Chain A
Amino acid sequence: MWFFRSPVIVYGDDALFHLSQLQGRKALIVTDENILRLGFVQKIEKYLHDAGIETHVFSEVEPDPSLETVLKGKALAETLNPDWIVGLGGGSCLDAAKAIWLLYENPQLDPRAINPFEELKLREKAKMIAIPTTSGTGAETTWAVVLTDRAEQRKLSLGAPVNTPDIAIIDPDLVMELPPGLTASTGMDALCHAVEGFTSIWHNDFSDGLCLQAIKLVFEFLPRAYQRGKEDREARAKMHYAATLAGLGFINSMAALAHALGHSLGAIFHIHHGRAVGLFLPYTIEYCANAGGTRYGEIVRFLGIPYQDEKEAAAILVGKIRELAKSINEPLSLAEAGIPREEFEKALGKLVENASMDATINTGTRIPSEKETEKLFLYAYEGKSIDF
């Protein structure tokens, strides 16, 4: 028994127009200062006002949102009493919006205890719309919430299935001006979601197709979106859809080891989430393939590449991911990502501890011991192929 969950997905040119068709009285828009400066908030507000909905803005979401930030947002929601929560921005804004929504309806809940195992209340006070302004996290489709515990220097992989947004608006206009660096990192995030969603131990027939199509779109359109930006509207739109497909794919299966390592790294070295998980992906593919029982061959076959056996398929996929990363100037090792060796070595114990506690470490086909997790970090630092 398992579920397939999805918001209503409104996509394509002018998808934002759907906001003017909503019914409600008051919306709290959860976003960040940068999105506010770019004028996206005003655009959203105009449509909501056309629908007769009053708007308020919480723009204090920082990259890798903290527990404190979502508690602040929750307090504002309690004061305003909105019937719509609108998440607008990248993954951080959307995750913060989801957490604020859940805490607003469950005031006694400690955000660290957001979990998929108990029944939590939702939709008694408000519904939620997620509007991504990057093409990668897929957070608009998922119930995953990643929050940062600053005191513990740890990202918390949280989530409750009920926390899936009601509506996701995938409007390519919002990503036309995305800078190349962010296009690259977020694109690698989408690829990682799709590969891990397809290969996790919880993969299923409902999520497989979404993951495969997302992988195909990323390989084809990410280099174009990176190189040509808004000049290539098709590539921008396809990457925006790929991110949503990958989000739906992985949340209905699960993310895995690259996410556990990436979350751990991001919390300590503040490397962009997409960059971190994308960087680890080739290493974790090699690590899993060394034990067998993986599905990398099916991915490679879907991409139209012949292969002899599972190990070769994994090597082909790793090669393609590294080639893609190079073409969009993403680092291939932690050293290349600019992490000083001394700081890395000092943090290694914490990196291993954080990764071992991350929920996503459990859903790959191979679960590393702490010794192996340490080796994975060390190999990824040096850029060495995984031989264990």
Chain B
Amino acid sequence: MAYRFPSDEWVKALCKTLNESEAYAEAAKNWEGDFYFIIEPDEEFKETAYLYMDLWHGKCREAFLATDPSVKDPVFKIWAPYGTWKKVILGQLDPIQGLVTRQLKLKGDMIKIMRNVKAANELVKCCAKVETEFAA
């Protein structure tokens, strides 16, 4: 079944995929921290969407589409226009290269990020495993 990106169903499907991934569990075993993945509007997608994920020691504890972003104050925030996220999910943009070139922007504890690049990679691999239907 395909899940529309971005949506509550999509982020919950990603959460399930992460929890089933041994590679993610291993790579992120030391990870503690929650995220907002912020999808900014562009030509294809006209709203701002906040996908919340609570990632804890290789597992996803909670995930939802936040209709009101003030409900959570996560430790990390990654944001980019919709089209950039689409490229990441489709495997057309390496997420780390996306971050280095600032196509994706990141705020949070950089010490933690630099120790967990492998976990970030595995997380994105899991995104690609979620059957996704795009808005456009």
Residues of A within 8 A of B (CB): 1-3, 110, 112-119, 156-158, 161, 201-202, 356-357, 359, 361-362, 367, 369-370
Q: Are the C-beta atoms of B118 and A201 separated by less than 8 Å?
A: no
Complex Cα distance A113/B106, Å? 13
Q: Are the C-beta atoms of B115 and A113 separated by less than 8 Å?
A: no
Complex Cα distance A45/B8, Å? 63
Complex Cα distance A117/B27, Å? 20
Mind listing 13 A-B residue pairs with CB under 8 Å?
Answer: A2-B101, A113-B110, A113-B111, A113-B114, A114-B114, A116-B99, A117-B113, A118-B106, A156-B114, A356-B118, A361-B118, A362-B117, A367-B121
Q: Are the C-beta atoms of B111 and A359 separated by less than 8 Å?
A: no
Q: Are the C-beta atoms of B94 and A202 separated by less than 8 Å?
A: yes
Q: Are the C-beta atoms of B97 and A2 separated by less than 8 Å?
A: yes
Complex Cα distance A362/B123, Å? 13
Q: Are the C-beta atoms of B121 and A115 separated by less than 8 Å?
A: no
Chain A residues with CB under 8 Å of B113's CB are: 115, 117
Minimum CB–CB distance from A229 to chain B (whole Å) comes to: 39
B96 sits at the interface (CB 8 A): yes
Q: Are the C-beta atoms of A357 and B115 separated by less than 8 Å?
A: yes
Known: A3-B101, A202-B94, A367-B121. A359 touches B114 (CB 8 A): yes
B7 sits at the interface (CB 8 A): no
Q: Are the C-beta atoms of B101 and A359 separated by less than 8 Å?
A: no
Chain B residues with CB under 8 Å of A201's CB are: 94
Complex Cα distance A361/B23, Å? 14
Q: Are the C-beta atoms of A357 and B103 separated by less than 8 Å?
A: no
B116 sits at the interface (CB 8 A): yes
Chain B residues with CB under 8 Å of A367's CB are: 118, 121
Chain B residues with CB under 8 Å of A156's CB are: 114
By beta carbon, the residue of chain B nearest A360 is B117
Complex Cα distance A165/B97, Å? 21
Other contacts beyond A115-B110, A117-B100, A117-B110: 10, CB < 8 A: A1-B97, A115-B113, A115-B114, A117-B99, A118-B110, A356-B118, A362-B117, A367-B121, A369-B23, A370-B26
Complex Cα distance A161/B26, Å? 29
Contact with A along B88-115 (1 / 0, CB 8 A): 0000001011011111001001110111
Complex Cα distance A379/B118, Å? 23
Complex Cα distance A12/B22, Å? 52
Contact with A along B8-27 (1 / 0, CB 8 A): 00000000000000010011
Chain B residues with CB under 8 Å of A370's CB are: 26
Minimum CB–CB distance from B62 to chain A (whole Å) comes to: 25
Complex Cα distance A157/B117, Å? 11
Complex Cα distance A117/B77, Å? 12
Chain B residues with CB under 8 Å of A112's CB are: 111, 114
Q: Are the C-beta atoms of A362 and B114 separated by less than 8 Å?
A: no
Complex Cα distance A116/B102, Å? 9
Complex Cα distance A119/B96, Å? 15
Q: Are the C-beta atoms of A117 and B26 separated by less than 8 Å?
A: no
Complex Cα distance A51/B113, Å? 43
Minimum CB–CB distance from A381 to chain B (whole Å) comes to: 22
Chain A residues with CB under 8 Å of B114's CB are: 112-115, 156-158, 359
Complex Cα distance A317/B96, Å? 29
Most buried by A among B23, B26, B96, B114: B114
Q: Are the C-beta atoms of B27 and A356 separated by less than 8 Å?
A: yes
Task: Tell which of A3, A110, A117, A357 touches B116, judged by Cβ atoms closer than 8 Å.
Answer: A357
Enumerate B112-136 residues with CB–CB distance to A below 8 Å. Answer: 113-118, 121
Known: A357-B115, A357-B118, A370-B26. A362 touches B96 (CB 8 A): yes
Minimum CB–CB distance from B95 to chain A (whole Å) comes to: 10
Minimum CB–CB distance from A22 to chain B (whole Å) comes to: 30
Complex Cα distance A33/B46, Å? 60
Minimum CB–CB distance from B57 to chain A (whole Å) comes to: 15
Minimum CB–CB distance from B28 to chain A (whole Å) comes to: 11
Chain B residues with CB under 8 Å of A361's CB are: 117-118
Chain A residues with CB under 8 Å of B116's CB are: 357
Contact with A along B58-99 (1 / 0, CB 8 A): 000000000000000000000000000000000000101101
Most buried by A among B26, B27, B100, B109: B100
Complex Cα distance A370/B113, Å? 19
Q: Are the C-beta atoms of B118 and A110 separated by less than 8 Å?
A: no
Complex Cα distance A3/B118, Å? 22
Chain B residues with CB under 8 Å of A116's CB are: 99-100
